[in-house]
Structure 1
Amino acid sequence: MRSVGVEEELLLVDSKGTPRAVSGVILAALPDGSTLEKELHREQLEIATRPRHTIEGLAEELRRWRGEASAGARRAGAELAALATSPLPVDPSINSGDRYRRLEEEFGLTALEQLTCGCHVHVSVESDDEGVAVLDRIQPWLPALLALSANSPFWQGKDTRYSSYRSRVWGRWPSTGATERFGTAENYHRQVQGMLATGTLLDEGMIYFDARLSRHYPTVEVRVPDVCLEADDTVLIAALVRALVETAARDWKAGGPPDDSGVGLLRLASWRAGRSGLCGDLVDPRTMTPAPAETVVRALVDHVAEALRDSGDADLVKEHLDALLARGNGAHVQRELLRRTGDLRAVVEECARRTVA
């Protein structure tokens, strides 16, 4: 059974729903052993689970860390909200640290405005060769994960018309997005070193591919999802990512060919997912033509069905996916809250409640 772990970036807001720069106060008061960490901006925190072999164990730990982060935020006079962008206007502040300051100096407004919260899923692989084989095979399905997780319809107090505007803001960095096929681990590392050699990136930590080999762990790291409003949706995404990795690894070992979709098509599929979420068509990875979002999401589950059965996650995925499709993703929930209340502050307040419900 492959291990799976999750990192979530979470927003810190005051009683009126405006992001509040209190991450340093929260982190300074934490006990030893906490996995809460600072992020680029002082208005956010990151939580990280340990590698888990069962999705149930991952879900329990994820909720525990959300709860601890929320308690710490309240002690600092703030609330924790699993929102991928702030619905209300904000002037973010860069966190302390040499690397963060270098990012601000080098990338200017891109760094200053980058108050976005994503979800990163790590799944173990046996080697870099297996990891690259996985990367070459999973990319057409990643936009479906973005559509499921989409949770950022508002930016600076306005409706962006996107389901995941975070994905558009994130795309301003020079190394983001889909990649061409690598073929071998040697080619992957050669590409990374070539990018670093241009002098454009500060370090290898800025290799912001949609999916990459982790620098620190023997894992593939999928980076496309928004942070999910509901913890159950994060659990669903983690289960699907693990099944995608397992399915791709099996295909590689059986001699199956890698995906042959070009980067241009993959980028269009990602844009479509960020724009439409679950409320319109997505690009179907099987045909690279439009299809209803639910059709594409169900096709993803069919694609990884054998891996889900083998891991024992099939029933959990069905239950969580049915609930998500009935309720809507975070973007849909936020827009419905605004429609009912007419107040973005009320949207943030309810989302903060759901973050740790």
Structure 2
Amino acid sequence: MRLIEELNQKYNSVSIIGLAKNAGKTVTLNYLIEEAYDSTIKLGLTSTGRDGERLDLVTETEKPTIFVGVNTIIATAKSILEMGDAGLEILETTEFTSPLGNIVLCRVKAEGNVQLAGPSNASDTLLVKEKMIDYGADLVLIDGAIDRKAVASPRITDACIIATGAVLSRDIKKVVSQTAYYASIFLLPGVEDLELLNIKFQLNRTCIIDDEYRLNYPEMKTSLGHGRALASMTDERTRYIYLSGAVTTSMLKDLTFGKLNYTILIDDGTQVFSDYYNYKNLKKKGLRLEVLNPILVEAITVNPIAPFGYSFPSDELVRMIEEAVGPIKVVDVLGGGV
């Protein structure tokens, strides 16, 4: 079964998260669009950045265009509609904005190329996704990036695809380890403690949870920069520290300072802003991190060619990533989906 068919059977929405510029997320998007082209699957498409332009304005390298079929629903900035050549019917002008202006919803009436520039925040993206489904999209694909990864949250999309590639490093082992790291963050284990799950909806800001599941709310507006203070409030009865905002390397270091007898609890893996080496060291020190809402990683797509003149053997890169990430489908989108 083709990947697009698997996605359509299981989900209403999927995000595509590129681990770096030129990692192949737009190639992945086009791969899925092409798979859907001859099917009856009606796609909804948007992006948390800007995609479909022929030239990357930062690296000045050519980028893949986005070719869409009839009846595709797109959400993009009104100001860039004329930069594509697809025939479009405007369905709705929304109040949502992007750096390029207001977002409009369109139905493709004549196939062709489009540019995508969707809402700039996750809550608006959620509402735009729901509107595209209301207009008839069977499956909504949202083009994201590691610095705009909030759309991979289960609050926004049902599952995600990670797009990785040779661009991450000239060392194939580093590409594999970085990819495996990001996959592990997205795949952080979900809470299995039934007592905790029973009070899940009471967790609306940072708090400390003891062994009788009582909630202690520290007097602080944000947990950022207060990791040591939080850690100092724990004792032998502390079972969890729930963090409601971004979880940075410094925060994790502060919370794992000294004896660690509790689990750090977050909503989902999109909250973690750390790096491979620090995270690896913290795990060795006993860091325990669980999530209330696990992310479903449906596939990892691989682009074995970097725009800087080097590449890796596709079969070797796919095999090494498969071995590193376990039972997740790994697809070379340039090779036609191995």
Bigger relative CO (Cα 8 Å, ≥ 6 apart): 1
Same fold (TM over 0.5): no
Q: What TM-score does the superposition give when structure 2 sets the normalisation length? A: 0.29
Q: Which has the larger radius of gyration?
A: 2
